[in-house]
Structure 1
Amino acid sequence: MHLYISIVSHLHHSIIINLGTIKALASHPDITVVCRDNIQTKPLTVACKKYHVHYIANKQKAGFAANNNANFLYCKDTLGMKDDDYFVILNPDIFMTNQAITTLVSSLKALKHDFYAPNLLLDNEQLMLDDNIRVYPKFINFLETYLLNKRATMVNRKAGLLSTHSYWASGAFLIIKAKLYQSAKGLDERYYLYCEDIDFCERLKIRGIHFHYLEHVKPTHHRRRDSKRFMTRYFWWHVFSVFRYSFSKKEFEARKSKIK
């Protein structure tokens, strides 16, 4: 079993280098890291070479889904990723200690499920939970979140997850067997940014596939909330994605993908 980590930088070179997660991941014998630069930056180019990370610079900018799908194909066609290996989608703002990495790898070797989500936290003291696991939203939930700041889809993981399989997990950190990602044709590239993770989880749900929660794997997510900045391009990307997710028919395979 081997892990192939997919990281996409949208001018995130500073946080990627400062956090040091790619350096720690790449030093593990069971892990290969692929970093795709949406806009080529010299610091990230140098850092990836230094840390023995596979670095790819885009010729044209692409969205989150398209970039991760491209990394999947690179892992499969160039690096020889096998069906039973794991493809890991990882945000550039995730921090993992060496202990967290060791715990992740040993857990995957012991459990042998096809789809996982970790217990993301917001601080290194492990006091605040990220909301990376939520209940599937309806369109009204998006409106209530924006207009009334309601948090109806949030989950109190300290109280334990129910066995209803009504949850989706954030694309900030997802672990998927390569054969499952391939069969679902990866992320739907109709989404440029936002909601592609909800869509992906729901498409797998159609086949009765749900993520396994790794409660004891606790990375830190140094997140930003660009979509909350009203009238920015991030805001509009979020709006378009919400409409697409809310009103499009769900199928197991991605409607648009370079993975065939």
Structure 2
Amino acid sequence: MAVYISVVSHGHGGLIKQLDCLANLAEKFNVVVKLNLKELDLVSYLKENNIHVIDELYGLGFGHNNNVVFSHCSNILKMNDGDTFIVFNPDVISSVEAIEQLVDSMNKEKVPIAAVNLFKDAKYSLPDNSIRKFPSLTQFINSFLGLGNSSIINKKNIIKPTITDWAAGSFLAFTASHYKTLQGFDENYFMYCEDIDICFRSNRLGSPVTFFPNVKMQHLAEHANRSMFSKHFYWHLKSVIRFLLCKRGLTKVKSSL
């Protein structure tokens, strides 16, 4: 069984080259980088390090980009249903051993969708709030207003694989067959809530996310400004409304798979 790692770069060329993580992973796994804008210097680096490149279809949303990578892996690289497809942010740092540990655990426990333990620092002492409960309208409003977020799950005391509602799209692992069953990400979202949505739909099909606390990685998270007048705020608000409609069963998935 092979592993395919999907990375979307939106001007992340400098970071990708600086971290050099993907080059290391590409020695063992199939790493595919989808460019969301022109990055000529990055293309050269990727090809030199045996990393597959999709250099077309710019300006897509997060979910749509990952669906494009999945189709590429299936149709061009011949990914099989039993293989593992990983959505991997360019600001995540992982060792080969951590990926292998996760895939082995998923196979052993027959887990179709999984999350790992992300931290903000290299010493794994500052946890990233990467697993949460499915949010309500009230929780969304409180988060927007800076009043806290009660949907965040405290990972500190979780010491064994545990079912959780949803995990951040900075790192999500799927069996290829399950990603296909879910029709991938819903492309009606743009940058926000795609991860909540796909985890919710998986949960609804009887396959909730399994969180593996012992598989640790670093996430250099930088969140975009979401002031009331920013485009990010508009994208986020639109996505929130769509997810709340999804919870009521009032939406249909748009997918290019």
Q: State the TM-score bracket (shorter-chain normalisation).
A: over 0.9
- Deviations 1:182-236, CA, capped at 9 Å, x for gaps: 1110000000111011010110111110122221111100011105344222222
Contact 1:69–1:257, Cα closer than 8 Å, also in 2: yes
- Measure, in 2, the Cα distance between the counterparts of 1:173 and 1:212: 12
The structure-2 alpha-carbon separation of the partners of 1:53 and 1:246, relative to structure 1 and needing over 3 Å to count, comes to same
The structure-2 alpha-carbon separation of the partners of 1:144 and 1:162, relative to structure 1 and needing over 3 Å to count, comes to farther
CA deviation after TM superposition for structure 1 residue 254, in Å: 5.7
Q: 2:174 aligns to what?
A: 176
May I ask how many residue pairs the two structures share in their alignment?
Answer: 257
Contact 2:193–2:243, Cα closer than 8 Å, also in 1: yes
CA deviation after TM superposition for structure 1 residue 15, in Å: 1.1
Superposition RMSD in Å: 2.2
> Is 2:28 aligned against 1:12?
no
Contact 2:34–2:53, Cα closer than 8 Å, also in 1: yes
Alignment of 1:61-140 (within 5 A): 61-140=59-138
In structure 1, stretches of 5+ residues that fail to align are: none
CA deviation after TM superposition for structure 1 residue 65, in Å: 0.8
- Deviations 1:9-33, CA, capped at 9 Å, x for gaps: 11111111111111111011xx100
In structure 2, stretches of 5+ residues that fail to align are: none
- Deviations 1:111-134, CA, capped at 9 Å, x for gaps: 442111001111001111111100
Contact 1:187–1:254, Cα closer than 8 Å, also in 2: no
Contact 1:186–1:254, Cα closer than 8 Å, also in 2: no
CA deviation after TM superposition for structure 1 residue 247, in Å: 2.4
Alignment of 1:53-64 (within 5 A): 53-64=51-62
- Measure, in 1, the Cα distance between the counterparts of 2:96 and 2:243: 36
Q: 1:25 aligns to what?
A: 25
The structure-2 alpha-carbon separation of the partners of 1:136 and 1:39, relative to structure 1 and needing over 3 Å to count, comes to same
CA deviation after TM superposition for structure 1 residue 249, in Å: 5.1
Contact 2:8–2:66, Cα closer than 8 Å, also in 1: yes
Residue 6 of structure 2 aligns with an amino acid whose one-letter code is: S
Alignment of 1:143-158 (within 5 A): 143-158=141-156
- Measure, in 1, the Cα distance between the counterparts of 2:64 and 2:107: 29
TM-score by length of 2: 0.93
CA deviation after TM superposition for structure 1 residue 40, in Å: 1.6
Q: 2:207 aligns to what?
A: 209
TM-score by length of 1: 0.92
